[in-house]
């Protein structure tokens, strides 16, 4: 498509692309479209990626399935009730990771300023690529062509003068679209949107805003910031700034992890301390291995519990120094679990994560005076080496050998 056609195709007029050098690229229904490469006969049909049994959740849904109301993270039981004719495909996470690497490699061939947000989306600063590859719209079209031709999937591209607006643009043009929001027309565009289009406006925040008579971004922009802060705290100021299109954050190529964790949804709700502590041990080993793999330590242990009525609580404990051993994480998590006392309801989900992450070497590791703690970490490091060489961890605590794996959802960094 020629430059003039690209500039006219969205609003029927020539677009001003000045300073629109931030791009948000998001794959469309990533897990599903990757699977459809091997199952082309399912194109155009409702497809769900996830495990069909137990309490698993939807990992990804095709746009045909979404028409029935199916959404990611929805319980699979509910999804199949809404779309009983949907085809369910078991996930292949290793394949998705490989395709994700290819996606990010493609982005880095466009510009070296790439900020990944997840396995299938990223911000790109294309200011340095304009002279080499053309206008922002031409670069966006190039990205979409290459994703389709080289990876066999589709992507939606949002282009704007800021990260926030670029993300909104990619969301509003899905699936398989491209939208450029001109810098001088940003406020005009935003104020025509419903308030839930803003980052941070979830169900509870939306309810609070609606009580104030705020239903659109324009409504929010016209509300005194003091009133927003009184109702929403510091988040009120953030939303006010976003309603006027103010987002000075640059695209940051290397993103610092804020937390690393893992969680498990049980096949059957449980009151059992034995089941909960055994699962904490498994999760502690997962988290510790991820920390060591990223050369990070964590100084804050966070325990997450979701009860059978879906009420969720979190408890945390700060350490004097960073840790990356399963033993230390497990001990801290179990201590937090004990502090909760008698549980009011059975437990549906349990999770552990480490926060206040630091690079190994920036601070001393916390070790116990008990020699067994050091020996335990050494065994974990040896297990890491075995896993790296043979592709799977072959060393696990004896307590977990007789335990059958739970079918559920696992958290990621």
pLDDT digits 0-9 by tens, 265-296: 888 899 999 999 999 999 999 999 889 888 88
**In this predicted structure, which of 23-32, 134-143, 303-312 has the lowest mean pLDDT?**
303-312
User: Per-residue pLDDT for 342 more than 90?
Assistant: no
| Binding residue ranges | 26, 120
Determine the pLDDT at residue 33.
Answer: 97
Interatomic CA distance for residues 196 and 26, integer angstroms: 19
pLDDT of res. 239:
94
Q: Give the pLDDT confidence of 159-172 residue by residue, as tens digits.
A: 999 999 999 999 99
Q: Smallest Cα–Cα separation from 160: which of 105, 114, 123?
A: 123
pLDDT of the residue at 372: 44
The more confident residue out of 309 and 221 is: 221
Which of the two residues, 387 and 50, has the higher pLDDT score? 50
**The CATH classification of domain 259-401, taken from the options 3.90.1150.200, 1.10.3720.10, 3.30.1490.100, 3.40.630.30:** 3.30.1490.100
Token digits of residue 385: 């080496």
pLDDT at position 233 is 87
Share of the chain above pLDDT 90, in %: 62
- Out of 181-195, 226-240, 380-394, give the one with best mean pLDDT: 181-195
Distance CA(73)–CA(60), nearest Å, equals 8
Confidence of residue 399 (pLDDT cuts 50, 70, 90): low
pLDDT at 401 over 70: no
Task: Copy the structure tokens of residue 7.
Answer: 């500039």
Q: DSSP character for 394?
A: -
Give residue 223's pLDDT band: very low, low, confident or very high (50, 70, 90). very high
Sign (positive/negative) of CA torsion 221, 227, 229, 233? Answer: negative
Domain 191-243 homologous superfamily, CATH: 5' to 3' exonuclease, C-terminal subdomain (1.10.150.20)
CATH number for 1-7+18-182 (one of 3.40.50.720, 3.40.50.12500, 3.30.70.270, 3.40.50.2300): it is 3.30.70.270
- How are beta strands 312-323 and 296-307 bridged, if at all? antiparallel
Cis before 175? omega within 30: yes
User: What residues contact 70, with CB distance under 8 A and at least 6 apart?
Assistant: 46, 48, 58, 61, 79, 82, 83, 86
| pLDDT score of 301 | 95
For 109-147, what is each residue's pLDDT tens digit?
Answer: 999 999 998 889 999 999 999 999 999 999 999 999 999
Residues of the chain within CATH 3.30.1490.100 domain(s) are 259-401
404 or 63, which is more confident?
Answer: 63
- Average pLDDT for 183-205: 92
Q: What stretch(es) of the chain map to CATH 1.10.150.20?
A: 191-243
Residue list for the binding site for Mg(2+): 26, 120
Q: Could you tell me where in the chain the CATH 3.30.70.270 domains are found?
A: 1-7+18-182
- 39 pLDDT higher than 70: yes
Looking at residue 156, what is its pLDDT? 97
pLDDT of residue 340: 86
* Tally of residues, the chain: 413
pLDDT score recorded for residue 56 = 82
Its pTM stands at: 0.67
Residue with the larger pLDDT of the pair 231 and 257: 231
Cβ atoms of residues 53 and 194 within 8 Å? no
Residue 4 has pLDDT above 60, yes or no: no
pLDDT of residue 364: 41
**Regarding predicted confidence, which is higher, 400 or 151?**
151
Left, alpha or beta for 41 (phi > 0: left; psi -120 to 50: alpha)? alpha
Annotated active-site positions, please?
Answer: 121
């Amino acid at each position: 498509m020629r430059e003039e056609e690209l500039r006219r195709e969205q609003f029927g007029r020539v677009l001003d692309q000045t300073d629109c050098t931030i791009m948000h690229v998001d794959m469309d229904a990533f897990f599903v479209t990757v699977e459809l490469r091997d199952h082309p006969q399912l194109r155009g049909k409702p497809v769900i990626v996830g495990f069909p049994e137990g309490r698993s959740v939807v990992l990804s849904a095709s746009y045909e399935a979404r028409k029935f109301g199916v959404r990611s993270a929805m319980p699979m039981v509910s999804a199949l009730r809404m779309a009983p004719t949907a085809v369910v495909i078991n996930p292949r996470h290793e394949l998705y990771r490989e395709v994700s690497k290819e996606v990010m490699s493609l982005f880095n061939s466009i510009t070296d300023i790439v900020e990944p947000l997840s396995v299938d989306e990223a911000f790109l600063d294309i200011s340095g690529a304009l002279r080499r590859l053309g206008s922002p719209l031409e670069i966006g079209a190039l990205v979409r062509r290459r994703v389709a031709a080289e990876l066999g999937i589709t992507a939606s591209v949002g282009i704007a003068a800021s990260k926030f607006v670029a993300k909104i643009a990619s969301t509003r043009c899905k699936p398989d679209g491209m939208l450029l929001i001109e810098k001088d027309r940003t406020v005009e565009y935003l104020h025509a949107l419903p308030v839930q289009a803003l980052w941070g406006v979830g169900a509870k925040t939306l309810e609070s805003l609606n009580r104030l008579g705020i239903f659109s971004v324009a409504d929010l922009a016209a509300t005194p910031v003091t009133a927003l802060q009184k109702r929403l705290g510091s988040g009120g100021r953030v939303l006010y700034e976003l309603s006027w299109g103010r987002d000075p954050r640059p695209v940051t190529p290397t993103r610092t992890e804020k937390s690393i964790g893992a969680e498990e949804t049980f096949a059957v709700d449980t009151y059992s301390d034995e089941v909960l502590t055994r699962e904490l041990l498994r999760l502690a080993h997962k988290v510790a291995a991820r920390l060591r793999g990223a050369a990070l330590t964590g100084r804050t242990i966070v325990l997450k519990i979701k009860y059978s009525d879906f009420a969720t609580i979190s408890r945390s404990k700060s350490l004097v120094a960073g840790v990356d051993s399963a033993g230390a994480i497990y001990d801290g998590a179990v201590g937090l679990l004990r502090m909760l006392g008698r549980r009011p309801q059975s437990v549906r989900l349990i999770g552990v994560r480490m926060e206040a992450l630091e690079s190994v070497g920036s601070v001393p590791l916390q070790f116990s005076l008990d020699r067994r703690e050091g020996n335990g970490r050494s065994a974990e490091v040896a297990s890491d080496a075995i896993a790296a060489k043979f592709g799977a961890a072959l060393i696990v605590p004896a307590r977990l050998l007789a335990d059958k794996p739970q079918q559920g959802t696992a958290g990621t960094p």
